[in-house]
Chain A
Amino acid sequence: MFSGINLSLAIWVPIAFGIAVLAIGDDRNPRPARWTALVGSILGFLVCIPLWTGFQQTADMQFVELAPWISRFNVSYHLGVDGISMPLMLLNSLMTVLVVIAHWEVVRDKVSQYLAAFLIMSGLINGVFASLDAILFYTFFEAMLIPMFLIIGIWGGPNRVYAAVKFFLYTLLGSLLMLAAFIYLFNATNGSFEILDFHRVPLSMTAQILIFIAMFMSFAVKVPMWPVHTWLPDAHVEAPTGGSVILAAITLKIGGYGFLRFNMPIAPDASAYLSTFMVTLSLIAIVYIGLVALVQGDMKKLIAYSSISHMGFVTLGFFIFTYDGLLGGMLQMISHGFVSAALFLCVGVLYDRVHSRQIADYGGIANTMPVFAAFFVFFAMANSGLPGTSGFVGEFLVIMGTMKVSFWWTLLAATTLIWGAAYTLWMVKRVVYGPVANEHVAHLKDVSPRELAFLVILAVAVLWLGLYPKALSDIMNPTLQELLRQVGQSKIA
């Protein structure tokens, strides 16, 4: 069905519904906007399903669409997915459905704009993952900032303006340097903006290093890697629940995706040359940020720092150049998408009831919210990498991959199993267990069917990925093998 335009549908269906939601939006009666958004997000997810079912296990780009856009500069509307981008698109489309479900009774202010921003962003992010043309990629990549900026700034917490502006400027700085690199590559390839042509063009070491750094500025901010991570805790804490979910589950992955799609294949020699640097930054993120997470009193901030630490694992996996590392990094990205989204939604559930994110304001919610507590503990376990959950697979593979390269790196990386368990479980202990802490907690109601819906979906996903990662690794395998081959070949002419 719709063969030939699958990717376009995945991009434009959510955007079209987003515009429709804006058009029919009425702040006094948000019901029509809500249902339209739900239909739009579910349709957006459904049109992504054929990408999964019709996926061929090869390293080639699939579902390719090609049309001229600005023919004078050889810019084209060129879409296609491989084993790296397709799972991320599915993840994104699924998360949008969850965000729409999660907002239902919670967001009351400017509902239609809120939903429209998420739907439009969902389409734009699909565009980021599906673009095979650098200018098309850049257009989606930047345009995505606009709805996110508004989401943080309008529906966020008290310090939202600061967080929104910081988020925007940080990412803009990085991406403009990447744009300069694209223009350089356009000249180097004699006039092509095709990403796959960028992969093939021979480049001198100096050029590669400069390109690597320009793109690193862009993607490291997104991931975020230490030391350019400081926007993330602010943005997460101030963003509304849906914003945090999309930020953590999807936009961070764009950084990791960028490394795989751009940095490593375009500048393989520079990647190898700078790998120690990248590994060092990753290890700092894993250890230092893990320790920072330990002392947070704000649950959202804690999960934000935990995200940075987990994403450190992703970049570590990528830059040790082993198959296990790459696969582990990819699986970790998907897993982190589910787990961090689930944790942010859990905090959202609590926040909607008590209006506090402080760990100190809770205690003993297991007594009043047993069902919720069970899910919360489950996701916390996944976050600390319990075998059987998705969190384990990625971390384990990355650690295995690192072991082949360096024992000491492995040792440092493996400490995450301690830090991760420590900060997550300590938070759970203080929030979930113990006696009922105060009046608020005593009056808590357990999860509603709506909340149960998204928690169950995520729990199933976490378990599925934890118990049967082969479903994903088979899809990723050819692409990652090909990537490993590309990275291994020198491009210095």
Chain B
Amino acid sequence: MNTATFSLATLAPARPEIALLVLASALLVIDAFLKRRDGVVTYWLTLATLVLCALLCVVTVRHQPVTTFGGMFISDPLSQVVKTIMLLTVAGTIVLSRSYLETRRMLTGEFLCLALFGAVGMMVMISANHFLTLYLGLELMALSQYAMVALERDSAKATEASMKYFVLGALSSGLLLYGLSVLYGATGSLELTRVAASIEGGNANGTLAAFGLVFVVAGIAFKLGAAPFHMWIPDVYHGAATPATIIIGAAPKLAAFVFVMRLLANGLQGMTGDWQQMLVFLALASMAVGNIVAIAQGNLKRMLAYSTIAHMGYLLLGILAGNGAGYSASLFYVIAYAIMTLGSFGMILLLSRAGFEADTLEDFKGLNQKSKWYAFMMLILMFSLAGIPPTAGFFAKLLVLQAALDAGYTWLVVVAVLLSVIGAFYYLRVVKLMYFDAPTGEITIERRMGTRWVLSGSALATLFFGIAPAPLLNLCLSAISRSM
């Protein structure tokens, strides 16, 4: 690390992060001086910032990995692709949430700026090539999210959720940090490339490294929400205001996926056999817990929370295959999952109004009679989550199952298949409520076009990637093969 060689050009790979950080900070100041207190100006500026940074990410897509900041920061095709999608997901979340936040007086600079800082954290996490950068990004993201959950301060549920989230999040960060420090002890480096080289070269203390690995995997499982480290997910998803739920549920999964890739597939590549076993257990437990417990839920947010846990299990199937095909299958999965999450939680926002949350399953009764279009959109999303063709969810499942089968986990695939039949039941129940039952209460559809467009867009994207998965799949494959 020679500081003498520093020039502006060395910052170039981090342009999107720097831009987002500067703009978010500026926005924080601008918001404080705005005369209008309804947050609309900040809202538009936030969206503009996110879209601008997404464009910057697209522009800076590289064909080869480039590192900077003395190897702490890496910009490769994988990071640029995921960052772009992540920023657009955050932007979509904010558009979806606008009127929900407005009616509850939550469309404030605080919420929007926290979302932006969370996005900065995710970007740093995605581009980290060093244990410290990784941890820094993770904590920046997590702290913003704790605050966003807590922002609805008059709600006891939200406060409880944020406390749980904070305490468990801190615990998992502690585990992760401990694991990373043990790995540092074992390998003598914090930089992922050197850690990898040290393990591959046989210079690391194997027992110590395996010991650290256990903590790292536990920390990862916490962040992903994989069973048995899933306890916080249902409570936080349920307790947080729905926009905050989407902020936690959609984009961070993309970041967490790259985080897993960097740590396990890049840094600890030499220990693939060790972490594969752990992921097999995590995947199995997540699919079982998620799919089975979701059946008992009467609250849609809780149900989708358990569905998240199950989906993280399927995501891990691709990762534990431990090869490029598996990683790109998981990348496809997580992108499809982010789109579906945006849509399915967006439905709750679409149906909620002042003083009414529309988050129980009962609230979806008879939706088809009120609005054929949105019932159909939700139908697509539910079948996609269940993995029924022709939807993106089907190809996502197919690809991870294929990767796992290719890696020789036949029994795991059979169990995964059986559990997804159980999973289909609770998604079907939502369709059943919308189509087969008569409405019991009043159903209102959000009038704002933004919410409608983002929601319909994500459902139609799910359908589109189910009929023509090739473009997205090729993107995933090339991103992984050029980055790994």
Contact = CB atoms under 8 A, between A and B. Distances in A.
B190 to A, nearest CB: 36
A70 B401 contact: no
Given A69-B470, A71-B470, A154 B402 contact: no
B389 A139 contact: yes
B388 A169 contact: no
Interface in B142-198: none
Contact of B417 (A146, A153, A179): A179
A168 B424 contact: yes
Interface residues of A, number: 37
Interface in A128-178: 135, 138-139, 142-143, 145-146, 149-150, 153-154, 160-161, 164-165, 168-169, 172-173, 176-177
A176 B417 contact: yes
B436 A161 contact: yes
Nearest to B387: A176
B383 A180 contact: no
Interface residues of B, number: 34
Contacts of B473: 70, 72
A425 B395 CA distance: 49
B34 interface: no
A261 to B, nearest CB: 18
A160 B428 CA distance: 14
A97 B425 CA distance: 33
B43 interface: no
Contacts of A180: 401, 405, 413-414, 417
Contact of A177 (B417, B424, B428): B417
Interface stretch (A182-190, A244-252, A354-362): A182-190
B270 interface: no
A187 B425 contact: no
Contacts of A187: 405-406
B481 to A, nearest CB: 11
B394 A139 contact: yes
B117 interface: no
A175 to B, nearest CB: 10
B283 interface: no
Contacts of A70: 395, 469-470, 473
A172 B474 contact: no
A153 B436 contact: yes
Contacts of B450: none
Interface in B411-440: 413-414, 417-418, 420-421, 424-425, 428-429, 431-432, 435-436
B477 interface: yes
B482 interface: no
A173 B383 CA distance: 15
A173 B424 CA distance: 10
A165 B402 CA distance: 27
B421 A173 contact: yes
Contact of A164 (B372, B417, B432, B477): B432
B398 interface: yes
B423 to A, nearest CB: 10
Contact of A143 (B390, B432, B435): B390
B405 A183 contact: yes
A143 B388 contact: yes
Contact of B389 (A138, A161, A177): A138
B425 A139 contact: no
Contacts of B414: 177, 180
A8 interface: no
Nearest to A186: B402
A169 B388 CA distance: 12
Nearest to B433: A161
Contacts of B390: 139, 143
A70 B435 CA distance: 33
Contact of B470 (A72, A146, A165): A72
A138 B421 CA distance: 16
Given A70-B473, A180-B401, A184-B405, A142 B417 contact: no
Contacts of B389: 138-139, 142-143
A161 B432 contact: yes
B221 to A, nearest CB: 26
Contacts of B470: 68-72
Interface in B357-397: 368, 372, 379, 383, 388-390, 394-395
B436 A142 contact: no
B287 to A, nearest CB: 13
Most buried by A among B368, B383, B425, B435: B435
A282 interface: no
Interface in A57-92: 68-73
Contacts of B413: 180, 183
A213 B470 CA distance: 31
A164 B428 CA distance: 10
A169 B424 contact: yes
Contact of B372 (A71, A73, A113, A135): A113
Interface in B427-484: 428-429, 431-432, 435-436, 469-470, 473-474, 477
A173 B435 CA distance: 23
Nearest to A145: B388
Given A165-B425, A169-B424, A172-B421, A179 B388 contact: no
A145 B379 CA distance: 13
Contacts of A150: 431, 435
Contacts of A149: 428, 431
Contacts of B395: 70
Contacts of A110: 368
Most buried by B among A150, A168, A173, A183: A183
Contacts of B394: 139, 142
B428 A168 contact: yes
B87 to A, nearest CB: 26
A184 B406 CA distance: 8
A172 B402 CA distance: 18
B329 to A, nearest CB: 10
A176 B477 contact: no
A72 B474 contact: yes
Contacts of A176: 417-418, 420-421
Nearest to B380: A146
Most buried by B among A25, A71, A173, A186: A173
A139 B379 CA distance: 17
Most buried by A among B389, B401, B410: B389
A99 to B, nearest CB: 20
Nearest to B389: A139
A392 to B, nearest CB: 40
Given A142-B389, A176-B420, A72 B401 contact: no
A476 B405 CA distance: 37
A143 B394 CA distance: 10
Nearest to A165: B428
A25 B413 CA distance: 43
A150 B372 CA distance: 13
B428 to A, nearest CB: 6
B388 A153 contact: no
A183 B402 contact: yes
Contact of B432 (A22, A165, A179, A184): A165
A186 B410 CA distance: 14
27 contacts: A22-B372, A69-B470, A70-B473, A72-B474, A113-B368, A135-B398, A139-B390, A142-B388, A146-B388, A149-B428, A149-B431, A153-B432, A153-B435, A153-B436, A161-B436, A165-B428, A168-B428, A169-B428, A173-B421, A176-B417, A176-B420, A180-B414, A180-B417, A183-B398, A183-B401, A183-B402, A187-B405
The 4 residue pairs across chains A and B that have the minimum distance between CB atoms: A139-B389, A153-B436, A176-B417, A173-B421
Interface of A: 22, 25, 68-73, 110, 113, 135, 138-139, 142-143, 145-146, 149-150, 153-154, 160-161, 164-165, 168-169, 172-173, 176-177, 179-180, 183-184, 186-187
Given A165-B432, A180-B417, 17 more contacts: A70-B469, A72-B477, A135-B398, A139-B389, A142-B388, A146-B383, A149-B431, A150-B435, A160-B436, A161-B436, A164-B432, A169-B428, A172-B424, A173-B421, A176-B417, A177-B417, A179-B401
